[in-house]
A and B are shown apart, each in its own frame.
Chain A
Amino acid sequence: MSSTLPHHDHDSNSGSAAAAGVLDAAVLQSLKDLGGEDDPGLFFELIDLFLQDAPQRMNEIRRGLEQGDIHLLERAAHTLKSSSANIGALSLSTLCRRMEEQARKHENAGLAELYDSSRQLWPHVEAALRAAKS
């Protein structure tokens, strides 16, 4: 299993210290700047949109795994890959990219482990985003 895991610091038993690293500060800052003075709510809006959408994609990935629907998995991982990169959750994005790649090549071995890693990472991402909003 460990061979398919990315070398990131957010292993399954990483604590809140690692949670700070799940979001890229520069990306967050650029999102805040993008809203500027005329659209200050943009930053919160983007986070909310992401928090609404991401769990659905995670669900689709899981369903894809359970039902052997590799296309569903590929598409969900693809979408989550870019949205998480946009919001600054780069580690999650990397995991999604690897799932998407494997799914496209129909390499099923290791997919479940990749999903597990992302599932374990998700609460940290979510917590960090909620923290960023406050």
Chain B
Amino acid sequence: MIKKTFEELKLTGQLPSPPGVGMKILKLTQGEDFSADEIGRTIMADAALTGRLLKIANSAQSAGARPVTTVSEATMRLGVRAVRNVALGLSLISSYRAGACSAFSYDRYWSLSLARAVAAQSISRAMRIGQPPEAYILGLLSDIGTLALVCVYPEEYASLLASTGGNRRALREAERKRFEIDHAEVGSYMLEEWGLPTAFADAIQHYEERTQSREETDLTRILRHANCLAEVCLTTEGEKVDWASLASGLERMRTELGLAEEAFNEFCNAIIREWVEWGATLKVPAQKGVDIARIALLAAQQPLPTDELVDASALVDGTPSSPSGGTSVVEGSKSDLTQEARVPQASLRILAVDDDAMSLRLLERQLTKAGHKVLCARDGNEGLQLALETNPQVVIADWMMPGLSGLELCRSLRRIESGRDIFFLLLTGRDEEDRVVEAFDAGVDDFIAKPFNARILMARIKGGQRVIELKEQVETERRTVRSQVAELGVLTRKLRTAALTDVLTELPNRRYAMKKLEQEWDSSIRNNRPLSLIMIDIDHFKKVNDVHGHDIGDVVLKETANVLRTTARQGEEPARLGGEEFLVLCPNTSLVQAKACAERLRAAIEANKIRGGSFDGHVTASLGVAERTADTATPDALIKCADEAVYAAKSGGRNRVCASPSLSTNSTHAKAG
């Protein structure tokens, strides 16, 4: 039932959610198989986020280590999951810094959450429980449920804040009464929704409870301590807070940490300093309050009965009006759901389509009254035409209509570019609900069963509005990404070419040749075609280098590469394997044909005049030819055969072509050089 209440909150579309990058990261990591690379790329699209993430990565590692400077390093250091959590939290802060609830202090909210985050991270590290970066995010999101209720019911929440003076426990009770769900429950459902560990949800639900259960989880314990310290952070000495309770909370933490008083105070002060620093980074107010060492003293001196005390974590904006026993009369507390209509919302262009004139008129009025611009069509065909002409953001259409039905209208719209982003809301009869699967298949975004009241309609439209905004945001981002990808594509192609090309000769290199050989190998087996290769080794190349120098050696290599390039025919692919060794791949070529080709190459090399520096003349080469046979099991074996043939050519006097062993007896011996 509480879960159901949460579903209703979701329906309003007003629950906080991480925008843009945060949302993308959430989506990316919702499956199990995501890569650190993808996450890194997504984060890097947001410069501010990147900076903050690096800061966390650096603060999370031990002093003296080399600083983390890139997102991928940070990802390696913190782990993908931790990076995801951090990005999520940070993108939330930046988009919920202010809002519609006038009585709610958004600043104080984030200040407290930040203090919990910093404290939880330190406590997790000190107690060696859990992952410090995860504890950080747990702290940051520890009160997200309150933010959610504030977002959904800004005015009503203001009155709750007024009636409870912001006292957390009283507030929780009032929330349950008013909304049938409290902030702790909302928060834990939200974390579950976002795919965060269930232990998070559990901790959020219990850390504020007064009584500490025996089965309390580690994370709950961390968060409870962090919360205590956060309250210390935001409290100044003059305030009428429950010093005794703060003091006992701190004492419990000190015992669990096993620290002496002085060491514990230093531990807390370090956290407070870190919080102040973080506040500056994230532009969240964070100012050192009471001196930690004074708290026990203040608790001892406390003269006030506890029911007159202000809650240290109250989120009321301005000075908390001192509530006397929760009986204070609240101004403007008469709030019912009609107020929802007054919450400002952007005007949408909506096309309403219904064949029943009365229903259509009713719908039109309900929508106009909510501030939307409405166009009406009396049937599906007119609806389609109007949709094409006016390009509405939302289409609301009846399912059953003569001519083009609502479903057919939706399908037609989804087929065209401009219709794809329209939020399509289908009106169905109650008894058609079991057929909605068909409707969703047709591309409908949502449906409402008739008859519906205006409230439900507006809630669905708000939901649609969120989708529209997100889509528009995504579209903008996609455009950016698209241009980046295009640049990347060019670069990638250049890189790939570079990676597979020999720098000196500009022939394909060994890596390319081996890859290509494997492809041709498979293809020749598949198609039962011959495959041959020619291995070429320049004769006495070492001597050229020794006598004329490496520069001349390079000239010789380049010249020889040119000869191969120009002499090879279509389909014969020369490559440089390294040193003075070349290879020509001959697909669809028998040994006899390959030998003819090799002879052509040999003659061309010999005929080529090379001039450079002290070198003036020509080189020769020894060539080995091999063909794939039943005996050659692998591409490597084929290369080995060709190598052996080269060896045979060398020992046979060089400047000649030899074939792999089986045919070597009748190899053509060209004129000896």
Contact = CB atoms under 8 A, between A and B. Distances in A.
Interface of A: 30-31, 34-36, 39, 42, 45-46, 49-50, 52-53, 75, 78-79, 81-83, 85-87, 93, 97, 100-101
Interface of B (DSSP majority class): helix
Interface residues of B, number: 19
A46 B431 contact: no
A54 to B, nearest CB: 9
A39 B367 CA distance: 13
Contacts of A46: 358, 361-362
Contact of B358 (A35, A39, A81, A87): A87
Considering the complex of A and B, which 9 residue pairs feature the smallest CB-CB distances, nearest first?
A49-B358, A85-B451, A50-B358, A82-B450, A49-B357, A83-B356, A83-B358, A79-B356, A78-B400
Contacts of B356: 53, 79, 82-83
A85 to B, nearest CB: 4
B450 A79 contact: no
Contact of B451 (A34, A39, A53, A86): A86
Given A75-B402, A78-B400, A86 B369 contact: no
Interface in B401-430: 402, 429-430
Contacts, number: 55
Given A46-B361, A49-B361, A85 B366 contact: no
A34 B358 contact: no
Given A49-B358, A83-B356, A97 B431 contact: yes
Nearest to A79: B356
12 contacts: A34-B369, A39-B365, A42-B365, A52-B357, A75-B402, A81-B429, A82-B356, A83-B359, A85-B451, A86-B358, A86-B451, A97-B431
Contacts of A100: 429, 431
A82 B431 contact: no
Contacts of B429: 78, 81-82, 97, 100
Given A46-B358, A53-B356, A75-B400, A82 B451 contact: yes
Nearest to B432: A78
A34 B366 contact: yes
A85 B450 contact: yes
A79 B369 CA distance: 24
B355 interface: yes
Most chain A CB atoms below 10 A, which of B358, B369, B402, B430 = B358
Given A78-B400, A97-B431, A101-B431, A53 B357 contact: yes
B270 interface: no
